[in-house]
Amino acid sequence: MPLLSLIVPCFNEEEGLPEFFKRTEKIHAQLGIDFEYYFVNDGSTDQTLNILRQMAAENEDVHYLSLSRNFGKEAAMLAGLEASSGDFVTILDADLQDPPELLLEMFEKIQAEDVDCVAAKRTDRSGEPVIISLFSRLFYKLINKVTQTPIIDGVRDFRLMTRQMTDAILSLTETNRFSKGLFTWVGFQTEYVEFANEKRTTGESKWNFSSKVRYAIDGIVNFSEAPLDFVTYSGLSMVVMTLLAIIILIIRQLFFHRSVSGWTSMVVIMLFCFGFTLLTLGVIGKYISTLFLEVKKRPIYIIKEKK
Ligand code: UDP
Ligand code: MG
C-alpha cells in the first residue's frame, strides 16, 4: 500500500488544526492508503505546539517538528519535506485554504495519468483586496517575462508529488528558497486541478503588503538576471548619451561661444543621475546580499523538538 506524507507548515494555527485533522482524516478513510503527517510548528506563539503534541500522542500517524523560532513557510516546508518518507508527498496549509478534498482528484490523476506532480490552481482571487490582486497579477506577468522558469499565476504550494520529484527538490540546496520557482525548475510533468478560492476560516493570514513585495523581489532575484541586465544596459546607454552631449557642448562652446545657460536642466540631470545610481546600487546590493546568504551556508531551519 502506498504511503502518503502530508506536510503541514503551521504558524499560529491553534484554532484551525483540529478541524484540519478531521477533514484530512476523512480523506484518509476514503483514499484507503497509509498517511503520515508531518506538522511543522514554525515558531508559533500560541497553543499550536501543545495541540500538535496532543495530536501526536493520540494518533501514531501524526509526527511533528517544532522549529526553534519562526523561519518562514519556505523553511517549514523544507523541514517537513526532509523528514518525510512517503511514496507520495503533499504540502497543505493548515488554514484549510487548500481544501484536502482535492487530494482525491489529485491522487487519481497522479496514478492514472503517469505524471509526477498534480498541483492545485486557484481559478479566482475572491476574498482578496483588489489592489493585492492587481499587484499579484502584475508580478506574475513580470516574473514570467524575465525568467526562463515559468511561474503560473494562481498555483499554490499545495501539490501532490512523487518521491522522485520530492528528492529532486531536496537536492537543491540553496538557502534562499523560492519554492514556486524550484517546483518548476526541477522539471517533471505537472498537471493542474482547479478550485475556487477559499477564505481562511480561522486565524489570520501572515502576509501583508510589504511581505508580498519582498516575496516578489526574492522570486525575481533568485530566478532571473534581468534586473542586472537592465541596469547594465541603461547605464551603458546613459554613458553613450552623455558622451554625445559632451561633444555637442564642447563644439557649441568652442565654435559658437555660447555659454551654458540652464541651471534647471543641470539640476534635473544631476537628480536623475543620482537617483539612477542609487537604484543601480540597490539592485546590485540585492544580488550581493543573496550571494552572501548562500555563501554563509547557514542551516535553513533549526529543529528544537520532534516526534
Ligand atoms: N506559515 C508558516 N510560517 C510563516 C507563515 C506562514 O509556516 O512564517 C504557514 C501558515 O501557518 C499556513 C501557511 O503557511 O499554514 C500559509 O500561510 P498564510 O495562510 O498566512 O498564507 P496565505 O494563505 O494568506 O497565502
Ligand atoms: Mg492561508
Tell me, in angstroms, the distance from the centre of ligand 1 to residue 13's CA.
Answer: 9
For residue 80, give the ligand nearest its CA.
Answer: 1
Residue 17 confidence (pLDDT): 92
Q: Cα(63)–Cα(6) distance, rounded to whole angstroms?
A: 10
Closest alpha carbon to 90 in 65, 71, 115, 118: 118
Residue 259 confidence (pLDDT): 61
Tell me, in angstroms, the distance from the centre of ligand 2 to residue 298's CA.
Answer: 28
SS3 59: coil
Closest alpha carbon to 95 in 159, 4, 14: 14
Residue 58 confidence (pLDDT): 93
Residue 40 CA: which ligand 1 atom is closest?
7
Q: Cα(150)–Cα(181) distance, rounded to whole angstroms?
A: 8
Work out the number of other CB atoms within 10 angstroms of the CB of residue 215: 16
Q: What is the DSSP letter of 127?
A: T
Residue 76 confidence (pLDDT): 95
Tell me, in angstroms, the distance from the centre of ligand 2 to residue 257's CA.
Answer: 69
Residue 28 confidence (pLDDT): 93
Residue 62 confidence (pLDDT): 94
The ligand 1 site (C-beta within 6 Å) comprises 9-11, 13, 42, 70, 72-73, 76, 93-95, 97, 205-207
Residue 277 is placed in which grid cell?
A: 545610481
Q: Model pTM? A: 0.79
Collect the ranges in the chain with pLDDT lower than 70: 258-261, 263-264
For residue 16, give the ligand nearest its CA.
Answer: 1
Phi and psi for 191 in degrees, rounded to 5?
Answer: -105, 160
Tell me, in angstroms, the distance from the centre of ligand 2 to residue 196's CA.
Answer: 14
Residue 94 CA: which ligand 1 atom is closest?
15
